[in-house]
């Protein structure tokens, strides 16, 4: 199940993007237009990683790949 949330934050000029993937264990989001991923490690711990891309399709692929590494 994928959820797309677009919203404006105070002080931000671009809309931020968030999408949950892999049953909610992977959160794909943007920070300053660059895609980032948050991976659920277990026991309420997360790993944050920059995907270093602005392309949504490539970011989705890299996020899923990072989850299975």
Q: Are 39 and 60 in contact (CB under 8 A)?
A: no
- Three-state DSSP string of 2-59: CEEEEECCCCCCCCEEEEEECCCCEEEEEECCEEEEEEEEECCEEEEEECCCCCHHHH
Question: Is residue 14 very low, low, confident or very high in pLDDT (cuts 50, 70, 90)?
Answer: low
Mean pLDDT of all residues belonging to the chain: 82
Q: What are 25-35's pLDDT values in tens digits? A: 999 999 888 99
* C-beta atoms surrounding 52 within 10 Å: 11
- pTM of this prediction? 0.75
């Amino acid at each position: 199940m994928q959820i797309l949330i677009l919203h404006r934050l105070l002080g931000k000029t671009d809309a931020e993007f968030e999408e949950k993937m892999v049953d909610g264990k992977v959160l794909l989001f943007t920070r300053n237009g660059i895609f980032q991923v948050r991976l659920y490690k277990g026991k309420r711990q997360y790993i944050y990683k920059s995907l270093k891309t602005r392309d949504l399709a490539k970011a989705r692929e890299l996020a899923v790949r990072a989850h299975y590494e």
